[in-house]
Amino acid sequence: MVNQKTTTLEEIGFTHDDFAALLDKYDYHFSPGDIVAGTVFSIEPRGALIDIGAKTAAYIPIQEMSINRVDSPEEVLQSNETREFFILTDENEDGQLTLSIRRIEYMRAWERVRQVQKEDATVRSSVFATNRGGALVRIEGLRGFIPGSHISTRKPKEDLVGEELPLKFLEVDEDRNRLVLSHRRALVERKMNRLEVGEVVEGTVRGIKPYGAFIDIGGVSGLLHISEISHDHIDTPHSVFNVNDLVKVMIIDLDAERGRISLSTKQLEPEPGDILKDRQKVYDMADEMAARYREQMQLKQQGGGAVDGVDSAEDVDLPAEDVDLPVEEIPAAISDEEDLPAAVEEV
């Protein structure tokens, strides 16, 4: 019969402390911000335990499982599933790390949004809430803000909830947590593809300001600057037009980058001041005067000059149309739970 003897660690000169030190030597060092592979081995009601190779299982709370709202961990994770996790916090007093999938999704969402902005592509998204400054949408899971001045619709803002809108990016700033979009610019770009400088269009006066009148031409707004109303001096656009007037105007500039359409009735006047004295005559001869304008423009372009009497878009003193809201009025693209307004789903 073979005599079996059990040998202890101490008897071979290797203590429990030595064994622990050896484990520490080959233990991976994990730091907040690292992205690691992990395997789900236990799903709990409000979170899950993940094996990432550390001495203690890491934990992911349900609010860190997705960029979108999650009601149950099983909506995102399955037992024995292996995937990437973001290390959110260092070890707690029990040696446990906190993980996140949500942070990875945010990082990749910003990357996709920056790429779409670089390509100057149009995106579509549904309005999920409105506030005093504009409307809120989600782009790749990030919260985007559309300033009221960049919403091109006659509907009250509140009625836009649930409506899908085409949008262009105005600002993508991950550092400042700002994602700002324009509905107006997307519509203007689409409309601009069908418009030409020198074209006569019909429209409706939708607003009058000291510096000019805003004309609705097929769902997008163009500016008839006060300097382009008539060759004769006028004190204010209110002395010439009223809101809801039907007008004929000529397009003198299309600025797709800034989403601006500049209009003129001045260039349609057969004689200086006709828009003030005989508006119908101006409208009746609009096509003829526009044809002369286009001929003159062509000749000037061939000669390298500008058309007489026409201010370039850069010369005209237009109001700023880009986002100029105070920082605190632009909602963050990523919000902490305590900062979320009631209309926004908590994560």
The mean pLDDT value for 21-27 works out to 54
Q: Residue 154 — pLDDT band, cuts 50, 70, 90?
A: confident
Whether pTM exceeds 0.85: no
The mean pLDDT value for 66-71 works out to 90
The mean pLDDT value for 209-215 works out to 94
Q: Residue 94 — pLDDT band, cuts 50, 70, 90?
A: confident
* Range from 21-30, 212-221, 283-292 carrying the lowest mean pLDDT: 21-30
Per-residue confidence (pLDDT) for residue 95, from 0 to 100 = 82
Please provide residue 73's backbone torsions phi and psi, each rounded to the nearest 5 degrees: -55, -30
Tens-digit pLDDT profile for residues 157-200? 889 999 999 999 999 999 999 999 999 888 888 888 888 899 99
Per-residue confidence (pLDDT) for residue 305, from 0 to 100 = 55
Per-residue confidence (pLDDT) for residue 337, from 0 to 100 = 40
Tens-digit pLDDT profile for residues 277-311? 999 999 999 999 999 999 988 888 777 555 555 54
CB count in 10 Å sphere of residue 229: 25
Per-residue confidence (pLDDT) for residue 319, from 0 to 100 = 46
Give the C-alpha separation, 323 to 133, whole Å.
Answer: 11
| Residue ranges with strand state E in the chain | 35-44, 47-51, 58-61, 82-89, 98-100, 123-130, 134-139, 142-147, 164-173, 178-182, 200-209, 212-217, 220-225, 246-255, 260-264
The string of DSSP letters for 55-74 reads SS-EEEEGGGS-SS--S-GG
Tens-digit pLDDT profile for residues 305-336? 555 555 444 444 444 444 444 444 566 666 54
Question: How far, in Å, are 84, 101, 116, 316 from residue 111 at the CA level?
Answer: 17, 16, 9, 37
Question: How far, in Å, are 128, 158, 287 from residue 131 at the CA level?
Answer: 11, 8, 44
CB count in 10 Å sphere of residue 279: 17
Per-residue confidence (pLDDT) for residue 16, from 0 to 100 = 56
Q: Which domains does the chain have, with CATH numbers?
A: 16-100 (2.40.50.140), 120-186 (2.40.50.140), 195-303 (2.40.50.140)
Which of 342, 323, 321 shows the shortest CA–CA distance to 144? 323
Per-residue confidence (pLDDT) for residue 300, from 0 to 100 = 82
